[in-house]
Chains A and B, each alone.
Chain A
Amino acid sequence: MPKLDEIDLYAGIESPLSRWDPRVKLTSILLLIFSIVLLDDLIPAALGLILSFLIILISRIPLNFVLERMRWVFLFVLFIFIVLSITASRGVEKGALVALRAFSAILLALAMLSTTRFEQVLKTMEKLRVPNKLIQTVLFTYRYIFLLADESHRMFTSLKARGFRGRTDMRTMITIGNSIAMLFVRSYERAQRVYEAMISRGYSGVVNSLAEFEIKNVDYVKGIIVIIFAVSLHVI
């Protein structure tokens, strides 16, 4: 069964990244991501990838976790690389550029998000004035996707307990179709009840929290270092 903790698995690891104020961390690393993604030359992009990898090392996130996350990105990028190198002029160079940018962006996003507790990410979004509707969408997805996963898990367990085996026939299709439809109905009803419960506690369309972050000088220093790198990649 999926556990909610997985998403915050490495948020507790002590590192300069996890100690970093999330607001400064998210803004400066996002800047670095944009900077790398906008690079047009191979050499700065390669430097960008090396930099991203260094940041991963500093974050102390276990490398096999990182590699596992990269696997799917790798397949995806490989596909683009092959297509580009066959079809485009100077395709190998373009493909390599796409690959370097993609890997850097994923590494940095991992470093940024895995070292921050999810609730902190949401609160940071709130502090950074991200539209509240968007924050709520992320919040509810996060909170209820696991509940939905539990529910579907239970449903399929009960199907199995009654002798259901997945085959490639019509009956299997119908059974699975019905189960999924049932999940939709239940989610709809749950959404209704969650909304009613929120209204009962004074919900008026905005979810606020009492988040308070304290930015220290060292947080700014880290941010400035990252931004200097982001700028210098374009200068060299």
Chain B
Amino acid sequence: MPASIELKNLGYVYPDGTEALRNISLRIEEGESVAVLGPNGAGKSTLLLHLNGILRGEGTVKISGSDIKGKETRELIGDIGLVFQDPDDQLFSTTVFDDVAFGPLNMNLSKEEVRGRVASALKRAGMEKFEDRCPHNLSFGEKRKVSIATVLSMDSRIMVFDEPLSNLDPRGKREIISLIKELKREGKTIITAIHDVNIVPEIADRIYVLNKEIIGEGTPREVFMNTKLLSNSNLDIPVITQFFEVLSCFGYDTTDIPLSIDEAISHLTRTIEKDGGHIHLHIHEHTHKEINRLKRRHEHQ
């Protein structure tokens, strides 16, 4: 089966001569959820804009095995849907309904089909009561959800999110995270450019670390345990993982260190059951030294 997305030796130089992407090769399987991590200016958005041919650099981009060279972006909307970072870039219509209907109308679907898709996309995004509202008057979180609905309504097989959690309050974040997880369960291929490493283990099967070129790749565990990669790319590890590192200084056994709250719960449960109903922590002669070393390491990152 061909990969959902396959990039070979992709390179891109901005018109002003700045190099944005260099020699990028990657392969994302059907139904996989992949996070793209990297510092500001690492070329994450630029990379995403190549996936549906908005930007075209050197090298090849294949969607489901076929090269997008010579294909217009609008021929790809059934394959790939891109949610932009700033909802004000995405929402241009005078009503929410019109905006969510824009993609489906461009797919030449019947009126009933368009209406059905708008209704279900808005419902999934939790915005079904907002059809007649003007996007300008919505809150930022509402705009973000409508933006996502405008892409959900195209029902593309691959969903691409550019920083979907930026500028959201905690509740807004949770809503978007559970939507992404739901899409993943349905078997969509998902690519998310993201800053917040705490969320990554929840939504992604695999990570690409980007800084103009791909400097690391692997499962969240492989990437977050790769100390050298982390310090080279200025990446943090999830806070919960940092906390378990602290615990390890107090003698807690951190084999298979947890990366998310869920993993932390089962890790603690396992340890407590093994140790006969409690956890054993203590201060030993190296504790302070180890803690200081840990602190230094995280400050450096």
Contacts and interface: CB of A to CB of B under 8 A. Distances in A.
Interface of A: 3-5, 118-119, 122, 139-140, 142-144, 146-147, 190, 193-194, 196-204, 207-210
A204 B105 CA distance: 11
Interface in B97-128: 97-98, 101-103, 105-107, 111, 114-115
A17 to B, nearest CB: 20
A147 B135 CA distance: 11
Given A193-B84, A210-B101, A202 B74 contact: yes
A197 B94 contact: no
B132 to A, nearest CB: 9
Closest 8 A/B residue pairs (Cβ): A202-B106, A119-B94, A201-B103, A202-B74, A193-B89, A200-B82, A202-B77, A4-B136
A4 B135 CA distance: 10
B52 interface: yes
B92 A198 contact: yes
Given A5-B137, A201-B103, A196 B49 contact: yes
Contact of B105 (A140, A199, A200, A210): A210
B150 interface: yes
A118 B94 CA distance: 8
Contacts of B97: 210
B180 interface: no
Central interface residue in A5, A122, A197, A208, by most chain B CB within 10 Å: A197
Given A193-B86, A197-B92, A201-B106, 4 more contacts: A193-B89, A201-B81, A202-B74, A202-B103
B84 A143 contact: no
B49 A201 contact: no
Contacts of B88: 147, 190
Central interface residue in B81, B114, B134, by most chain A CB within 10 Å: B134
A135 to B, nearest CB: 11
Contacts of A147: 88, 136
Contact of B102 (A193, A196, A201): A201
A193 B95 CA distance: 20
A76 to B, nearest CB: 29
B29 to A, nearest CB: 23
Interface residues of B, number: 35
Central interface residue in B77, B89, B103, by most chain A CB within 10 Å: B89
Contact of A139 (B92, B105, B151): B92
Given A119-B98, A210-B114, A201 B54 contact: no
Contacts of B150: 201
Nearest to B97: A210
A122 B151 contact: no
B90 interface: yes
Nearest to A4: B136
Nearest to A190: B89
A203 B136 contact: no
B73 interface: yes
A142 B91 CA distance: 13
B154 interface: yes
A200 B73 contact: yes
Nearest to B48: A200
A103 to B, nearest CB: 30
Nearest to B151: A201
B228 to A, nearest CB: 36
Contacts of A140: 92
B66 interface: no
A202 B78 CA distance: 9
A139 B94 CA distance: 7
A32 B54 CA distance: 48
A146 B92 CA distance: 12
A139 B136 contact: no
A199 B54 contact: yes
A115 B74 CA distance: 37
Contacts of A143: 92-94, 135-136
Nearest to A150: B136
Contacts of B111: 210
A62 B88 CA distance: 33
Interface string B122-157: 000000000000111100000000000011001000
B134 A201 contact: no
Nearest to B134: A4
Contacts of B90: 194, 197
A4 B84 contact: no
B164 to A, nearest CB: 14
